[in-house]
């Protein structure tokens, strides 16, 4: 059952929530975003798939936006919107959330601007097996267009960025601690230039099988091939599906990868320049 939301808190959050519209010529999408500082908006990476991005404020003013940085692994994007006239929200500390905490979701589902729903935190933790990424699981009602909008506590502090709905109807939100980490990074994600899929090894560990190698990318320069199975980085074995990207993000310029070549059982090593 929805929990009555304090009117003042709901109104403040609605004024800090914007609509994000993107267009790449063949696909038009819309979602939500949160104003963090004057002219800066945080949203989901999957919301801004187009080259042309517009941000519409609560009052209905539409302003062109630029992409400052993006993290596809965490599904976050930071936009710059010069001239945006909207109230800034305050990021809270998601580490203080507890199961049962009342929360509010604001967004633009199915074209309804500034829609509000409420519920409670259901759990905190990974959304799937073998993943180390933490999520807020909440029983608030989300629909297409809510992605990128705020999940806040009843004091109006942003505890997460709403991202998706999983089976059972629970909403998943990226915790504010992960948002703070994303905002503090100076550069975009490093990339090997490969397409991988997870595989289970004989010793029950996780490996990443390379399906494609982009010509001229870091993996190609290091002579990695389709079929190679990446099993670790810097002498640390992969335990979760997102450990490879985490290793890339934590590396300066060079990364030592451990891998098996297809059909062989001899561990190989290669140093990749990122």
Q: Are residues 114 and 151 located together in one domain of the fold?
A: yes
Report which secondary-structure segment, H or E, holds 102: strand 102-107
Question: For position 47, which CATH number holds?
Answer: 2.40.10.10
Active-site annotation holder among 23, 46, 87, 131: 46
Domain assignment of residue 5, yes or no: no
Q: Are residues 203 and 174 located together in one domain of the fold?
A: no
- Residues contacting residue 92 through CB under 8 Å, at least 6 positions apart: 152, 153, 155, 157, 158, 159, 176
Catalytic residue at 46?
yes
Q: Are residues 100 and 176 located together in one domain of the fold?
A: yes
* 94-124 CB burial, b ≥16 within 10 A, e <16: beebeeeeebbbbbbbeeebbbbbbbebbeb
pLDDT at residue 47 in the model = 93
Catalytic residue at 75?
yes
Domain assignment of residue 89, yes or no: no
For 2-54, the pLDDT digits (tens) are: 676 778 999 999 999 999 998 865 566 789 999 998 789 999 999 998 779 99
Active-site annotation holder among 16, 32, 71, 75: 75
Question: For position 234, which CATH number holds?
Answer: 2.30.42.10
pLDDT at residue 187 in the model = 54
pLDDT at residue 111 in the model = 73
Domain assignment of residue 7, yes or no: no
Active-site annotation holder among 16, 117, 118, 147: 147
Domain assignment of residue 25, yes or no: yes
Q: Are residues 73 and 102 located together in one domain of the fold?
A: no
Q: Are residues 260 and 208 located together in one domain of the fold?
A: yes
- Predicted TM-score of the model (pTM): 0.73
Pairing mode, strands 62-71 and 267-273: unpaired
**Domain housing 178:** 94-184
In this structure, are residues 230 and 207 in contact, taking their beta carbons and an 8 Å threshold? yes
Catalytic residue at 243?
no
- Other CB atoms within a 10 A radius of the CB of residue 217 amount to 16
Euclidean distance between CA atoms 129 and 122, whole angstroms: 18
In this structure, are residues 217 and 191 in contact, taking their beta carbons and an 8 Å threshold? yes
**Which of 166, 184, 202 is the C-terminal boundary of a domain?**
184
The number of domains in the chain is: 3
Which residues of the chain fall below pLDDT 50?
A: none
Q: Are residues 69 and 110 located together in one domain of the fold?
A: no
pLDDT at residue 126 in the model = 74
């Amino acid at each position: 059952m929805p929990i009555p939301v304090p009117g003042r808190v709901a109104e403040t959050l609605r004024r800090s929530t914007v609509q994000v519209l993107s267009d790449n010529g063949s696909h038009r999408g819309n979602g939500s975003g949160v104003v963090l500082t004057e002219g800066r908006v945080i949203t989901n990476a999957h919301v801004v798939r187009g080259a042309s991005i517009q941000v519409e404020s609560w009052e209905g003013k539409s302003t062109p936006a630029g992409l400052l940085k993006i993290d596809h692994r965490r599904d976050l994007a930071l936009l710059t919107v010069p001239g945006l006239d909207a109230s800034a929200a305050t990021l809270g500390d998601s580490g203080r959330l507890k199961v049962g905490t009342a929360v509010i979701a604001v967004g633009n589902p199915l074209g309804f601007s500034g829609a509000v729903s409420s519920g409670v935190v259901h759990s905190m933790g990974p959304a799937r097996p073998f993943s180390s990424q933490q999520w807020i699981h909440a029983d608030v009602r989300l629909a297409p267009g809510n992605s990128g909008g705020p999940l806040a506590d009843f004091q109006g502090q942003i505890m997460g960025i709403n991202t998706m709905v999983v089976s059972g109807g629970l909403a998943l939100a990226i915790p504010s601690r992960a948002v703070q980490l994303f905002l503090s990074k100076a550069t975009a994600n490093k990339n090997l230039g490969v397409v991988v899929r997870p595989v289970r090894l004989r010793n029950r560990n996780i490996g990443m099988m390379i399906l494609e190698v982009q010509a001229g990318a870091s993996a190609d320069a290091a002579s990695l091939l389709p079929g190679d199975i990446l099993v670790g980085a810097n002498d640390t074995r992969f335990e979760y599906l997102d450990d490879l990207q985490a290793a890339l993000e934590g590396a300066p310029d060079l990364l030592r990868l451990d891998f098996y070549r297809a059909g062989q059982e001899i561990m190989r090593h290669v140093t990749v320049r990122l």
